[in-house]
Chain A
Amino acid sequence: MTEPQHRSMPPALVPGMAEPAGPAKPGSRLLRTEGLTKHFKIGGATSRRTLYAVEDVDLAIGEHEIVALAGESGSGKSTVARLLAKLYKPTAGEIYFQDKPLSGVRGRKDVLRYRGDVPMVFQDPFASINPVFRVSHGVMRCLKLHRPDLSAEQRREEAERVFDAVGLTPASEVLQRFPHELSGGQRQRVGFAQALALRPKLILADEPVSMLDVSIRIGLLNLMADLRDTQGVSILYITHDIASARYVADRLIVMYAGHIAETGPTEEVLSRPRHPYTQLLLSAVPDPRAPLTIGAETDRGEPPRVIDPAPGCLFRWRCPLAIDECHHVTPPLRELLPEHSAACHVARADAETKAFR
């Protein structure tokens, strides 16, 4: 069986270079969170240990922009996604969608409307589609639930339209396939098609390319940029790969151990990182085009699992610049430069942070 040739996205759509990705205008915040916190109880029924998965997160996503939420595993980024998708309930803090609090969204109709505005695309192309049904199943269900005004015929047409929009052509033929007949890249495109069918405002993409081969990732990243440009959709792109975040995102949020470490426009954060952790991440990214710099002090640490933590910066054990204050006071997120904030006691607006190179 030969693979269908689905077109890769045209290179003319230069991610982020067409319009300058300036700061989103105030009041056009599509979604924002205030003090978003999620704790999980771990251990048995009688245990009192708490995992602080997400702690005091303030973030904002505007219209027509791609925001990357980057961090290692255990940083809380996936939990944030699931909180925004209303799969978990926040322990504290609030999420505002179009300036309305999410905690007020109750009742089947309101919840359904929110789910139609903020769908999610999952990481694992093999596990995110039900293997029993044809790939049209998910899209048709989405349409049935969220666009009841459409007739069956119109639903069919809409399904084909979104499959075309994500590059799965010929749409009518691909819709009849079973998931195991598609490649991983194609299955991820099905995920995006399902999200598109809802006519969403914001797509939560949880590591959509991590499990794909490198040469296929670019196709999907280009697709995401295209969706932002032509379909008017914002995307929260969750990833551990800074390089792909740079490629596709307008703004970057770096998370560490449940907290936001640094946030700002992508280019700005990556060229002038203020938080030592951001620097560490940057230094660890292998870049074949750059000359080799194996530092003798290559960090051997790993992000902590935050269980019942004492106050203080969670990065202090791995940070070469830690001072006394770092051990006692949890650093708040401070705006150091316009639209560029970092949660670090040592970071300065004007000076470079020289932690890792």
Chain B
Amino acid sequence: MPDDNPSAGSAAGTVLEVRDLSVSYFMDRGTTLAVDRVSLDLAPREFLGIVGESGCGKSTLLFAIAQLLAPPAEITSGSVVFKGRNMVGLTDKEMSTVRWRDLSVVMQSAMNALNPVKSIGAQFSDAMRAHGASKGEITERSAEVLKMVGIDPVHLKSYPHQLSGGMRQRSMIAMAMLFTPDLVIMDEPTSALDVVAQRSLMVQIKELQEQLGFAIIFVTHDMSLVSHFSDRLMVMYGGVVAEFGATRQVFDAPLHPYSIGLLEAFPSIRGPRVPLTGIPGSPPNLASIPPGCRFAPRCPKVMARCEVEPPELYQVDGTLVRCFLHDGGGPRDD
């Protein structure tokens, strides 16, 4: 676990280095800055959770990292260095060698991502053939990955609608495992599932990670879901990083008023019943960003300075936080 510079992974071989990544949507009625100068480093085998409400830019960030943005969205600045290679600006052809072999993506809803008219096995073999695997390799590996996620290989012949929701999600994850990638990106893979299936899927993902040794970026709106699984946690708000640090630290001692508000918005199952307030108001409209801190309109600890000046990321005990309440730590160096 890195101590001084939390946004940097271990010096030797970071899997992913994102520097000052910005994404904008260019629409007829104006430009929306969806992601504003986000940086992060990911070490091998690391589990990074990215949390935030709808509209905070976390999904856009994810798609930008995976180079899956389409017009009108575009990366306007910054770099995404994956295994030493900057992926921003790569052509589709160059990306296709990286995709699935070294980097794979698990989508939010399997029903939307899986082809409904092809069997699971056919979709696996599509993916493998695109990387030049032989028929024997395909059959063997397909069965292998399904077993890894706890599905009987007989389901290779099944169509997506014949599987239950949980099984569909798990087959999506199996598909992502086909080439044992170094990095798997997951966009809310459990949000379409019930709480019991969610739990078992999270455990499954963690087990696979320990078994196969890949790094994970896991995007979700539900903080409690990643609380037990991620190594580090990034809280996003309004397109910027609000807080970024070791998971346990962010949970036990959140620094940013937004993180505090978010944590307190979860009614607890155990412990005393207390009244909660949530966070009043709504996320900012990214098409017209107000000056100053983006959280200021909703912040219970807002100061005059917050409405005028946008805060930088400050370091506090190994956690980065974008809030003037903690600016004593000094801005991080890059």
- Tell me whether A8 and B150 are in contact (CB under 8 A): no
- Tell me whether B276 and A247 are in contact (CB under 8 A): yes
Find the residue from A2, A11, A246, A289 having the highest chain B CB count within 10 A.
A289
- Tell me whether A290 and B270 are in contact (CB under 8 A): yes
| Chain A min CB distance to B83 (Å) | 31
Closest to A8 in B: B280
Tier of interface size on chain B = 35 or more
Q: Is there a chain A Cβ closer than 8 Å to B211's Cβ?
A: no
Given contacts A2-B285, A246-B273, contact A287 B268 (CB under 8 A): yes
- Tell me whether A288 and B266 are in contact (CB under 8 A): yes
Which residues of B lie under 8 Å from residue A213 when comparing CB positions? 53-54, 221
Complex-state Cα separation, A17 to B195, whole angstroms: 27
Complex-state Cα separation, A298 to B262, whole angstroms: 28
Q: Is there a chain B Cβ closer than 8 Å to A336's Cβ?
A: no
In the complex, chain B residues 198-248 whose Cβ is within 8 Å of any chain A Cβ: 198-200, 202-203, 206, 221-225, 227-228
Which residues of B lie under 8 Å from residue A298 when comparing CB positions? 199-200, 203
Closest to B272 in A: A17
- Tell me whether A72 and B195 are in contact (CB under 8 A): yes
Complex-state Cα separation, A12 to B223, whole angstroms: 26
Closest to A14 in B: B275
| Chain A min CB distance to B41 (Å) | 24
Complex-state Cα separation, A240 to B203, whole angstroms: 20
Given contacts A213-B53, A302-B164, contact A218 B195 (CB under 8 A): no
Which residues of B lie under 8 Å from residue A288 when comparing CB positions? 223-224, 227-228, 251, 263, 266
| Chain B min CB distance to A9 (Å) | 8
- Tell me whether A218 and B222 are in contact (CB under 8 A): no
Mind listing 8 A-B residue pairs with CB under 8 Å? Answer: A14-B274, A16-B273, A219-B280, A243-B266, A287-B270, A288-B263, A299-B200, A302-B196
Nearest 8 A-B pairs (CB), nearest first? A218-B278, A247-B267, A288-B227, A72-B194, A284-B199, A292-B228, A286-B224, A215-B279
Extra contacts besides A213-B53, A215-B53, A243-B269 (13): CB < 8 Å? A11-B277, A12-B275, A13-B275, A14-B273, A73-B165, A214-B222, A217-B265, A246-B269, A284-B199, A286-B222, A286-B225, A288-B266, A298-B203
